[in-house]
Amino acid sequence: MTEQQIADATKSVAEPKQGRSGWGQVLAALVVVGGLAALLLSGTFQQKEPEPAVCDATDDARPSKPVSGVQLCTALNRADLPALLGTPTESAMNASGNESTSTWADGTKDVTPEAEVQLATYSVKLSTSDDDIPVAEMAAFLGSTAQPKTIGGHPAVLYSDRTIALKFSFGGDSKVDTGPGGIARSLLVAKDTKDGGGFYEIAIWRQDDVVPDDLALLRVAETVLPTVPGWTAG
C-alpha cells in the first residue's frame, strides 16, 4: 500500500469519528436545553407568588373591649377577600388591627377597634362602635343618597364618603398638603337585628380614585361580618 493510500484510508476513518463527535455535542446541547425546559415546566424557575399579609397587632392591647382590633383584622384578612372584591389575582399587601381613642369634652374616652387591609386595587376598613344611636336614625344624617340595606337580617345603610389625599412636596420647603381624595363607599350595619344601638362599619375605596363597586362592598359585608365575634344571626 502506498503512502497516499494509507493517508486516504486514515482520513476515511477519522472523518466519521469527528462527525459523530459533532453530533454528540449537538445532542448534548439538546439534552441541556431539554433539561432547562423540564425545570421551567416543573416550576423550579418560576417566580413564587407573594405571601398574603399577616395582621399587624402591635397597637392592639385592650382586652376589655368586646371585640379587639386584631380580631377585626383576622375576620377581614381572609384568603378569599380579593375574590370578594372582584380582584381574585391580587393578595393583601398590608393588614393591621388597632384601637383608636377619642376624648370627649367631659374627659370621657371612646375606644374604637378597627382593622384595615390593603390590596393593589382596593383598601378595606372594618370598625365597630358602641354608639347607642340606631342605624335607622343615623341614615338621616348621611345625605339624600344614603340607601337602606339589610345584611344578614341586620338593618344597614349604604352611603358615600370621601377619602383624604396626602400630597408630599420635597426640596428646600418640604411639606405635606391634604386635600379631597377619591370616593369611599361605606356600609353601617346595626349590631343586632332590632337596631338597638351600636354598629359595624365597612368602607372600601380604590387606589386609583375610581368609585368602588357597591356589589363588592356588599359581598364583603355579608361574608365577613358573620365571622366577627359577637355577631348575632338574623
Does one domain contain both 73 and 42?
A: no
Q: Which of 162, 166, 82 is nearest to 124 (CA)?
A: 82
36 Cβ neighbours under 8 A, 6+ residues apart: 45
Does one domain contain both 217 and 182?
A: yes
30 inside domain: yes
- Residue 196: is its pLDDT beyond 80? yes
158 inside domain: yes
134 inside domain: yes
113 inside domain: yes
Rounded to the nearest integer, the mean pLDDT of the chain is 76
pLDDT in tens, 64-123: 567 889 999 999 999 999 999 999 999 999 999 988 777 777 777 778 899 999 999 999
Average pLDDT (24-49) is 42
Confidence of residue 28 (pLDDT cuts 50, 70, 90): very low
Confidence of residue 50 (pLDDT cuts 50, 70, 90): low
Residue 95 pairs with which residues in a beta bridge?
117
- Report the pLDDT value the prediction gives residue 7, as an integer from 0 to 100: 44
pLDDT in tens, 142-190: 888 899 999 999 999 999 875 554 444 555 565 555 544 578 999 999 9
Does one domain contain both 167 and 70?
A: yes
Q: How far apart are CA 192 and CA 175, in angstroms?
A: 45
Q: How far apart are CA 167 and CA 177, in angstroms?
A: 5
- Report the pLDDT value the prediction gives residue 205, as an integer from 0 to 100: 94
Does one domain contain both 29 and 61?
A: no
Does one domain contain both 63 and 44?
A: no
Q: How many domains does the chain have?
A: 2
Does one domain contain both 20 and 106?
A: no
Residue 165 pairs with which residues in a beta bridge?
179
Task: Write out the residue range of the structural domain in which residue 106 sits.
Answer: 56-227
233 inside domain: no
Q: How far apart are CA 22 and CA 41, in angstroms?
A: 29
Q: What's the burial of 132, exposed, middle or buried (CB within 10 Å: 0-12/13-18/19+)?
A: exposed
Does one domain contain both 27 and 84?
A: no
- Report the pLDDT value the prediction gives residue 152, as an integer from 0 to 100: 94
- Residue 204: is its pLDDT beyond 70? yes
Does one domain contain both 31 and 90?
A: no
Q: Which of 9, 26, 48 is the last residue of a domain?
A: 48
Does one domain contain both 69 and 114?
A: yes
159 inside domain: yes
Q: Are 178 and 193 in contact (CB under 8 A)?
A: no
Tell me the whole-structure pTM to 2 decimals: 0.70
More confident residue, 5 or 154: 154
Q: Which three cell numbers stand for residue 208?
A: 386609583
76 inside domain: yes
Q: Which of 205, 201, 196, 204 is nearest to 149 (CA)?
A: 201
234 inside domain: no
154 Cβ neighbours under 8 A, 6+ residues apart: 189, 190, 191, 192, 193, 195, 225, 234
Confidence of residue 51 (pLDDT cuts 50, 70, 90): low
| DSSP letter (8 states) at residue 27 | H
Does one domain contain both 74 and 96?
A: yes
